[in-house]
Structure 1
Amino acid sequence: MLQVISNQQKISKKNGGFGIEILFPGKAIGPEDSGIGTIGRIDQATVTPGTLVPMHPHQDDEILTYLRSGVVEHKDTEGNKEIITNKRLMMMNAGAKFQHEELVLPEGGVLNALQIFIRPATGGLRPQVQFHEFPDAISPNDWRAVAGKGDGFPLQIRSNTWIYDMRLEQGNQRSQPVLPISSATCLVYVFDGSLTVNKNIIIQKGESLVVENEEILLHAAGDCNIVLFITDLSAPAFKQGMYSGNINRTK
């Protein structure tokens, strides 16, 4: 199965210097779940320098802050005060109780980022925050392991979820990486650029493609930044997280 999720299926919000486009990936597939397995919600954010996102709570969300431009000063209730850049990424494993604030620093220019809300395997876990600095901001034409469960992933996720990225440069093509499980469901997210899949599907900036039981070949007409999400639909996923939870669930 190949299912395109277009920009028209996103929710746009703006408040002062903070603008986001919210993707609930499951809503394009069916009414039962707003997410897909452990993939709960993806926000693509554009934030002007000097903007403060004040202290606010999260619960039972695994949150990857994935910057492509901008510099952020992060503070949280675990005692961290850290700088985040497009090379130094952050995973907030919110667990049972957690709060944080983010200040977009003037010297970094406009912030362009994804805030990625992944579902943990179970609720009520211990809060923790991870940081990892990559040698380079991008990985040209090769998949890079960013976050996931198990060895080889510098930022750990507490569920069966794996996240890779790559800048596919003009004229290059790649298939998906070796998948960690045989029954994987993938979501290909185009951060920017334009991507052709299997020669006949075109997805643009902010759009994505759900892939199940298919081999795919990605081709870039121009430089294209791609984020690949992999989930296991049969694995445990806690669907009552504050932001990652299933918004379609019945009370």
Structure 2
Amino acid sequence: MEDSASGRTKPRIHALGRTDVSRNQGKFRTHFNFPGRALPDHGDHGYGPLATVVESFMDPGTLIRMHQHREEEIISWVPAGVMRHDDGEGNELVTDPDHLMVMNAGEGFWHAEETLDDDPPLRMLQIFVRPHSLGLEPGIQHEPIPDPTPNAWRHLFGPEGGDAPLYVRNEVDFYDCRLDADATVSLPSKPGRDTYLYVFDGAVELEDTSLGYTESALVTGDGDVSVTATEDSTLVAFSIDPDAPVTRQGTIGR
């Protein structure tokens, strides 16, 4: 149904099961989530500026040697444990539940990732955003983030010049939420934006759609959509402008 005032449709939920795209490199394993696959015949694995959301696992004592990323924004979200970063600019950084890292790769940025032998097993998300332009200045952001509030969305990154703690160079806002069993929140939404929800842990009801562990949904259209946890859950959500200009030359997040 279309809202005649805005020209946008009322909210519609497009659910996705757990991804079947994975890579097993022994001590480093990844599962690729593609929001564009929620729409039949969409023709793009990504959705606007959001290219892919990667569930990454690193065993203790894992080193991913120095390598280069180009033409993409890479966000490391670590809800538990630590991810250790080294880069060609001399930064040695630890990303953990109290810090978020955004690597604005631009025209090229070299980095390595590591867990030490006495670090806990790591499960994290690495988020790949398509920038609006090619050849941008490379850089890195590593910042403390606000303490989470139970049953409320925490705004962690957004477009450059916005009010989020960190920024990316396109029209995507990112939120996380620890939702107690039986608690309800409204999905983050903005006029003219669509929202991609990913269940990192737990299970929820998205209106009348059930989503479990590592399942996701793309919500298109304008209006409030409620999310109710059927067990304690950790959620992430992306508010996306599907019509934003994008580039598609990233090392991974094409």
Q: Could you tell me which residue of structure 2 aligns to residue 177 of structure 1? A: 188
Q: What is the TM-score when the length of structure 1 is the normalising length?
A: 0.91
**Aligned pair partner of 2:210 in 188, 202, 206:** 202
Q: Which residue of 1 aligns with 2:239?
A: 230
Correspondence 1:42 to 2:53: yes
Post-superposition offset of 1:27: 2.8
1:51 and 2:62 are equivalent in the alignment:
yes
- Structure 2 counterpart of 1:11, from 21, 45, 54: 21
1:78-93 equivalences under 5 Å are 78-93=89-104
Q: Deviations over 1:45-68 (max 9, x none)?
A: 121111011111111110110012
Answer yes or no: is the 8 Å Cα contact 1:70–1:105 preserved in 2.
no
Secondary structure of 2:79's counterpart equals strand
Q: Does 1:219 align with 2:249?
A: no
Aligned equivalents of 2:152, 2:117: Cα separation in 1: 32
1:121 aligns with 2:129: no
Give the CA deviation at 1:165. 0.7
Shift of 1:177: 3.2
Question: Contact 1:141–1:166 at 8 Å: present in 2 too?
Answer: yes
Q: Secondary structure of the equivalent of 1:156? A: strand
2:150 matched residue in structure 1:
140
**1:26-58, Cα deviation, whole Å (9 max, x unpaired):** 133235211000000111012111101111111
* Closer/same/farther in 2, CA of residues 211 and 28 from structure 1, 3 Å limit: closer
Q: Which residue of 2 aligns with 1:249?
A: none
Runs of at least 4 residues of structure 1 off by over 3 A? none
Q: Displacement of 1:170 after TM fit?
A: 1.1
Structure 2 stretches of 5 or more lacking a match?
A: 1-11
Q: Closer, same or farther in 2 for the Cα pair 1:161/1:241, shift >3 Å? A: same
Cα distance in 1 for residues equivalent to 2:218 and 2:188: 15
Quickly say closer, same or farther: Cα 1:96–1:110, change in 2 above 3 A: same
Q: CA offset at residue 135 of structure 1?
A: 4.2
Report the alpha carbon displacement of residue 107 of structure 1 after superposing the two structures with TM. 3.8
The offset of 1:244, in angstroms, is 1.5
TM-score between both structures, scaled by the size of structure 2 = 0.90
What does the per-residue CA deviation read over 1:125-182, in whole Å, with 9 as the maximum and x for residues that have no partner?
Answer: 010100111243x431111111111322111110111101111111100112352xx1
SS at match of 1:60: coil
Deviation for aligned residue 1:4 = 0.5
Inter-partner Cα distance in structure 2 for 1:145 and 1:10: 29
1:33 counterpart (8, 27, 44): 44
Work out the CA distance in 2 between the residues paired with 1:124 and 1:116: 20
Question: Secondary structure, in 3 states, of the residue corresponding to 2:48?
Answer: coil
Aligned position for 1:165: 176
Alpha-carbon distance in structure 1 between the residues aligned to 2:166 and 2:78: 14
Q: Aligned partners of 1:163, 1:47: CA distance in 2, in Å? A: 23
What percent of counterpart residues are identical? 34
The superposition leaves residues 164-218 of structure 1 with CA deviations (integer Å, 9 ceiling, x where unpaired) of: 1111111100112352xx11011011111001111x2111111111001153100
Q: One-letter code of the match for 1:206?
A: T
Check whether the contact 1:189–1:228 (CA below 8 A) recurs between aligned residues: yes
The amino acid that maps onto 1:184 is: R
How many positions carry a matched residue from both structures?
240
Q: Distance in 2 between matches of 1:60 and 1:121?
A: 9
| Whole-angstrom CA distance in 2 between matches of 1:108 and 1:67 | 13
What's the offset of the Cα at 1:72?
2.0
Secondary structure of the equivalent of 1:190?
strand
